[in-house]
Amino acid sequence: MNLNAADIQHLKGGYLLAALSDSEFDEVLAHANARTLAPGEGLFDQGDPATHFFFVLSGIVKLCRMAPSGEEKVMDLVRPGFFFAEAAMFMSGRYPINARGLEATRLVSLDSKHFVGLVRGNGDLCLRLLSKMSQRMHGLINEIDKLTLHSGAERVIGYLLEQLPEGAAPPSVRLLVPKHVIASRLGIQPETLSRVLAKLRAKQLIDVHDDMIVLNDVEALRRLS
Amino acid sequence: MNLNAADIQHLKGGYLLAALSDSEFDEVLAHANARTLAPGEGLFDQGDPATHFFFVLSGIVKLCRMAPSGEEKVMDLVRPGFFFAEAAMFMSGRYPINARGLEATRLVSLDSKHFVGLVRGNGDLCLRLLSKMSQRMHGLINEIDKLTLHSGAERVIGYLLEQLPEGAAPPSVRLLVPKHVIASRLGIQPETLSRVLAKLRAKQLIDVHDDMIVLNDVEALRRLS
DNA sequence: GTCGTGCCTTGATTTAGGTCAATCAGAATT
DNA sequence: AATTCTGATTGACCTAAATCAAGGCACGAC
């Protein structure tokens, strides 16, 4: 086993496992392994059998799909403290997307089959899972209508506001992934993202210093969302 | 109780309830009511407390969201034999979308709270639910990248192929909802849908007779998907 | 140093699709 | 039959964003 005490504490705090008793948690741990990803390294591909689900310890995992043209669309960026691929576990057993490390990343790999067995005997955990999944579904529904109902500029502003930490003064966002990745996440081209930011800067609504963006007028931005 | 024997049979065949024992099913039935919707009549609105989930007996239910501008975006069209709003049940307790009858519609309304209580004691049912929800999540993920990666024309073709019944000869699709509703479903304007269909017709790929569309070359269409 | 290489920005051009408006057909109402 | 209404179609136009292309700037390698 290659997880240290801090990792285990981290993992225990994750949404899905918080409902487990100590003995259940230990059992899950017995079927868990730490793993590292190099920048750009693939973890699994769309269509692979969904044998495991994962928890991010450090770094960032990119969940994306490939268009027939070869172009890739980023579906989600998973940060430390979050699970991913836990939904595929109950399905036909295939991952619906690709997962790859965006930078050097450490994660925990958990055995799907074993976990499903555990869930079968634990109603509370089961409900927690159901809630978690429907939460993510609402997120996806939101995503869909943002993509269809809102313009590129509105999506950019929405993303900035989402990323804004609670009481940060001055209100600012640090982009911890390259801009072209954010662009893909928002369904636009890097050039468009660049232009949108330039426009917002021209209107004095934000200041951009490299990957640090200061929101000068959160209220005004929220109105434009 | 205003459900007849055929309705009950229909309901029992629905995905979520097939896993129930007879006594459990009867219990659910005791908390169920039939309901009718007039064309355009609202069932619930985005933000309403999610007290019930539903099963469509006949007609079509439109699940949609309102843009700030007042324009509506159709998220899904629910046909007879399918459940909806079952995901919201486990969540914060608010519906994330509006539901309204697209035409005269009969449906069964089921008590969420009661059903959640039932799930708590039934591991099998729980897993079935989890599977069902992750299935729908995959669908939503697909939807997202169709919207971002594919052009309007491609989405139209994809929709036609989806609607195509299995061994229909000649391969044809009957549009059972108005074209402007389909357009919204696909994230385009009615005019654009009209033009796309006109273009496909010009290329001899389809024939349009009112709401009946004949696919002359399924293979070619699939290549364009 | 200088040469790459990757990432971002900026400009010029093109294009898919939205908007506006006119027309038309079918269904419903008088 | 005349009339309004609703939805579909078509055309003319416009706009947001993609695409193509050219630098700029920081970084590491040599």
pLDDT in tens, B83-98: 899 888 887 689 989 9
DSSP 8-state secondary structure symbol assigned to residue B93:
S
- Quote the pLDDT of residue B218: 94
In A, minimum Cα distance to B124 occurs at A120
Q: Is A73 exposed, middle or buried (0-12, 13-18, 19+ CB in 10 A)?
A: middle
Identify which of B184, B171, B169 has the alpha carbon closest to the alpha carbon of residue B221: B171
d(CA B144, CA A144): 6
Angstroms from B165 CA to nearest CA on chain A: 23
Interface test with B, best of A130, A155, A157 (most B CBs within 10 A): A130
Are B136 and B180 members of one domain?
A: no
Are A39 and A140 members of one domain?
A: yes
With an 8 Å Cβ cutoff, are B73 and A145 in contact? yes
Are A168 and A113 members of one domain?
A: no
Domain count, chain A: 2
Are B28 and B131 members of one domain?
A: yes
Are B138 and B217 members of one domain?
A: no
Distance B191 CA to C22 C1' (A): 14
Q: Look up the CATH number of the domain holding residue A48.
A: 2.60.120.10
- Quote the pLDDT of residue B212: 93
With an 8 Å Cβ cutoff, are A137 and B140 in contact? yes
Cα A146 versus chain centre, distance: 17
Query: Which residues of chain A lie closer than 8 angstroms to B224, CB-CB?
Result: none
What phi, psi does B211 have (nearest 5°)?
A: -95, 10
DSSP 8-state secondary structure symbol assigned to residue B94:
B
Angle at A47 between CA B220 and CA A60, to 5 degrees: 120
Last residue of a domain, one of A92, A118, A148: A148
Whether the CB of B85 is less than 7 Å away from nucleic strand D comes out as no
With an 8 Å Cβ cutoff, are A137 and B141 in contact? no
Are A93 and A161 members of one domain?
A: no
Domain containing B173 equals 152-224
Q: Which nucleotides of chain D are near protein (any atom < 7 Å from a CB)?
A: 7-12, 16-21
| CB half-sphere exposure, A136, CA atoms < 13 A | 26
Are A87 and A192 members of one domain?
A: no
Question: What is the pLDDT of chain A when averaged over all its residues?
Answer: 89
* Cβ contact A214:A224 at 8 Å: no
Angstroms from B111 CA to nearest CA on chain A: 17
With an 8 Å Cβ cutoff, are A126 and B121 in contact? no
Query: Which residues of chain B lie closer than 8 angstroms to A148, CB-CB?
Result: 73, 147, 187
* Cβ contact B109:B61 at 8 Å: no
Are A125 and A69 members of one domain?
A: yes
Q: Look up the CATH number of the domain holding residue B173.
A: 1.10.10.10
Q: How confident is the model at residue A126 (pLDDT cuts 50, 70, 90)?
A: confident
The fraction of chain B above a pLDDT of 90, given in percent, is 50
With an 8 Å Cβ cutoff, are A144 and B148 in contact? no
Are A91 and A158 members of one domain?
A: no
Q: How confident is the model at residue A1 (pLDDT cuts 50, 70, 90)?
A: low
How many residues are present in chain B? 225
Last residue of a domain, one of B102, B124, B148: B148
Q: B32 versus B125: which is more confidently predicted?
A: B32
Last residue of a domain, one of A119, A148, A177: A148
Radius of gyration of chain A (CA): 19
Are B51 and B107 members of one domain?
A: yes
Q: B15 versus B58: which is more confidently predicted?
A: B58
d(CA B24, CA B17): 9
Are A30 and A77 members of one domain?
A: yes
Identify which of B199, B118, B91 has the alpha carbon closest to the alpha carbon of residue A131: B91
DSSP 8-state secondary structure symbol assigned to residue B51:
-
Are B160 and B60 members of one domain?
A: no
